[in-house]
Amino acid sequence: MISNNINLNHLRIFETVYRLKSMTFAASELHLTQSGISQHISSFEETLNVPLFDRIKQRLVPTSHGHQLYEKASHALKSLDETFSDLNTANRRLVGKVSIGLPIEFGNNVILPLLVKFTKLNPAVKFQLRYDFANVINENLLNGELDFAFVDTFALDQRISTKKVYDEVLELCAHPSLVKKKELSRLRDPKVLVEELEYVEYQPELPLLKLWFKHHYNLTNPRFNARVIAMDVEGIFRLINLGQGAGILPGHRVEKILKEGGKLHVFKGSGKPLRNEISIAHLKDRSQTTVVNATMSWILGELENQIR
């Protein structure tokens, strides 16, 4: 039987290389050298007597044999992992590292408290967090740097699976002194609001401002006078509070500011709230470890409880 000559370690390495489409990333995930990974793959191909990858312009492209083997091997390895975990009671204690991508405000105010609670229940689980915008997290998921992520509204790559888990309202706010200076009655006109008010935003392309004005006034490509770009919600609030311009803040942050005695003017727009969907995202074909799956399931359960 051919299986008698198969090294299970070769199969595991093949699965990782196929999934990440890179020997470099596979070496990093498996804590091996790139040359070691290459030797394992070559040895595995010799044992099977079929090519598993073509090397085209320094890129790995799975062959038809590679595709066929991965389809079976990924399911088999996952099944084996689950079986070993069930057989070994010691493995039922969650151990390992989980890498998560997060938008800053949602991550700090919603996810971090949940992770603190989770680590108290599972002290052997370690977390690596990466804060960034959805377009960057999209690439991090594709290249295997993140196990899963939370992202706001963004067209992710089709290879990434998403599920909506949270809604946050986006509010356009300014300091009352700035509104008074510009005259509120005039600022009720969307055209005047765009042309005569200064703005602060998170990204140079001003996506949230454009989204807010599209939603409330159906304006396309308005020209804003954006004075400052700052990716942090706290930074945007401080700029608003200093009278530097109007900007977008999450509704839960606005409520907290007003509750603590802060001063904000919230523009009403059309009256229908603009909601930013937060989704959990992960690479569809990636085989997740037991600790990653357990973490995702637990967080999703907690978020569902908050929504009820």
Is 97 found in the same domain as 85? Answer: no
Quote the CA–CA distance of 153 and 212 in Å, as a whole number.
13
Co-location of 192 and 218 in the same domain: yes
How deeply is 124 buried, as exposed, middle or buried, from its count of CB atoms within 10 A (0-12, 13-18, 19+)? exposed
> 160 is written with which tokens?
């990434």
Mean pLDDT confidence for 144-148:
94
List the Cα angle 172/250/207 in 5-degree steps.
60
- Band of residue 118 on the pLDDT scale cut at 50, 70, 90: very high
Q: Is the pLDDT of residue 95 over 70?
A: yes
Residue spans of alpha helices (H) in the chain: 8-20, 23-30, 34-48, 64-87, 104-106, 112-121, 134-142, 176-182, 184-187, 190-196, 207-217, 233-241, 251-259, 290-307
pLDDT computed for residue 55 by the predictor:
86
Count of domains forming the chain: 3
**Strand bridging mode 198-201 / 148-151:** unpaired
Section 202-223 average pLDDT: 92
Q: Which residues contact 153 (CB under 8 A, 6 or more apart)?
A: 134, 211, 276, 277
**Environment class of 217 (CB within 10 Å of its CB; exposed 0-12, middle 13-18, buried 19+):** middle
Q: Mean pLDDT throughout 236-261?
A: 93
Q: For residue 124, is pLDDT > 50?
A: yes
Q: Nearest Cα to 170, choosing from 219, 208, 224?
A: 208
Same domain, 68 and 151: no
CATH number of the domain enclosing 64: 1.10.10.10
Asked if residue 282 and residue 154 are part of one domain, the reply reads yes
- 186 vs 90: which has the higher pLDDT: 186
Range of the domain at 227: 168-275
Q: Is the pLDDT of residue 207 over 50?
A: yes
Statement to judge: residues 114 and 31 lie in one domain: no
Neighbours of 29 (CB within 10 A): 16
Q: Where is average pLDDT lowest: 85-89, 219-223, 283-287? A: 85-89
- The pLDDT tens digits of the residues spanning 83-92 come to 666 555 444 6
Would you state the pLDDT for residue 184? 85
DSSP per-residue letters across 184-209:
HHHHTSHHHHHHHSEEEESSTT-HHH
Residues in the chain: 308
**What was the pLDDT predicted at 242?**
94
Q: Mean pLDDT of all residues in the chain?
A: 88
Which CATH number do you get for residue 247? 3.40.190.290
C-alpha 130/C-alpha 142 separation (Å) is: 15
Beta-ladder partners of 225: 198
Instruction: For residues 101-118, give the mean pLDDT.
Output: 91
Give pLDDT, residue 4. Answer: 62
pLDDT for 307: 63
Question: Does pLDDT of 60 surpass 90?
Answer: no
Whole-angstrom distance, CA of residue 219 vs CA of residue 89:
60
Distance CA 281, CA 299 (A): 13
Q: Are residues 56 and 131 in the same domain?
A: no
Both 117 and 134 in a single domain?
yes
- Looking at the structure, tell me whether residues 250 and 179 fall in a common domain: yes
